[in-house]
Structure 1
Amino acid sequence: MDRRNFTRVSEFILTGLSEVLEFQLLIFIVFLIIYIITVLGNLSIICAYMLSANLHTPMYFFLGHFSFLEICYISINIPKMLDNSLAEHKTISFYGCVVQVYTFGLCGGTECYVLAAMAYDRYVAICHPLLYSVIMRRTVYIQLIAGSYIVGSTNSLIHTVITFTLPFCGPNRINHIFCDIPPILQLACADTRINQIVIFMTSVCVVVVSFLFIVISYIYIIAAIISLYSTSGRRKAFSTCTSHFTVVTIFYGSVMFMYLKPESSAPSQDRLVAVMYTVIAPLLNPFIYSLRNNDVKRALLKMYYKMKLPN
């Protein structure tokens, strides 16, 4: 490229979920409702953990952090999507895009290892119940959550730096619902093969390694459950894992499709997959955990009745 013609873009255009004007108001209303429900639902789980002494265990400590990440996750993208859905010019500033990429990567990478920590907690609880309080002591689960945030922030920093040190001289149209690295790299005025390799390698380290850890944990868990003689014991053990396994399936299935696929798929397909793990997964999280967990349901009902009682 001729450097004399280089002009750094100052903003990007986000195409959003649909470019059909008739759908913009509908998209705004639907995603606003989803955003409110998601924030309130995940916030209720955090409040239930903080206000209920019987939930002060490692499992709910991890769940509280996971719910916090889900609120952050959806808040990174949805407000800008809502703003752009009603705006004539659907733009985001260059540095706004940088912030969005970094915070999105931080939350996504951290969630991977928080889910892995939750799987390890269930493994210890079911496979080594007598040693649970010894193995999962406070310092251990705090170190696990701190390590998850460190991995997520480091991974995101690497991606953000190597992406936005590339030259962007136009076009500036991102064919996606938010600033995500794969569609941004398509706009770079330079060779992005190194970036593609780094994305694949770090995705393997963050996504695949954490997923394999979860799979191995569940292999041991299922083996331990099958060996139980009591049917009620099996049912109780399975019930403590099904919520986590459901969230893992939704989250990892869509993320792996998005970032580990060998070839770029249609932009419309990528946008729908992105909606699945950035919007639908955070929306479903509080329902999955509250509807299938009696402890959380009791804590939420107790909190609700306390709010209704007159002072």
Structure 2
Amino acid sequence: MEHLESRKRGRCFGGCCIIQEVVEHIGGSRDETIDVVLTKLCEVIVKGCKKSSVYGTACDIPCPVACKKSTCHIQSGACLECETGVYGNYCNQMCPTNCKDNRCRTQNGTCFTCKPGWTGTYCKTKCTEGWYGVNCSQQCSGHCKDGTTCNHVTGQCDRGCDKGWTGSLCVKECVNGTYGYDCVNNCSGHCLNSSPCKKQTGHCDRGCNPGYTDKTCSKKRIVLSKNVSSLTSWIIVCIVSLVVNCVLISGACLLCRGIYTKKLSISGDLLSRSNKSIYYTDIKRDVKTSEFSTYQELDLSREEIQYQNTTI
């Protein structure tokens, strides 16, 4: 019958103890076999602050405020991890503005993920034109009004959709029967064979149904009968003839009036010249007569001198 006998012994040095256990197997199939087990046990001394929110040799210096769970290095006071929004050894630097959820790495401040519309290590680079969303991975629809690009954050067309498109992202085409900006206009309904109008302009590219005209087929075509057409032609001819006759008569009247006015003007000039000649002759005669009448005798009253010479 097998039985075990165990003996232990050990020694310590440098703060560690080595325990040797000898197990002897007596009897049975393992008669007189020996197993030796060595166990090394060292003395472990742990020193630190009783509170986790302080550090220093005297454990009297508070950890930085932004250290997560107020835990810092027992000697240097450096934060093991920062609260959200800050980074650095002492968590005293702000994370970049465009970090998603305001989270960045404690060591260097790089963003874990960028907000939609931004890219780069520190999320300072705006998406290039035509792209938007998280990591600028989504492409704009290309249907924004006047060829403008979409919003780099949301992908929406801030100025609205181009003609023929609708929806917040301008990816929905106008339904048949509507056209224009935001699809608010209705087609005329008179396109050839009830075909839909063009969703940008409303034009009927395939033509109009009978009785309609214009690019949008919105005007009715007026068809006159032969009798009406003939009557209209006669009316037009009469009007033109009347206008021409009026012009000719007016011209003749003006011509006659001009000739008559000119004749009167000539007669007036001749009469004026004749009167001037007669008047001039009379003046000359009067002047000659006055040359011989230098003196004239006047009849004065008795109280005054009876005769007086007067020069005229």
Scaled by the length of structure 1, the TM-score of the pair is 0.15
Higher fraction of helix: 1
Question: TM-score, normalized by length of structure 2?
Answer: 0.15
Structure number, greater radius of gyration = 2
- Structure having greater relative contact order (Cα 8 Å, sep ≥ 6): 1
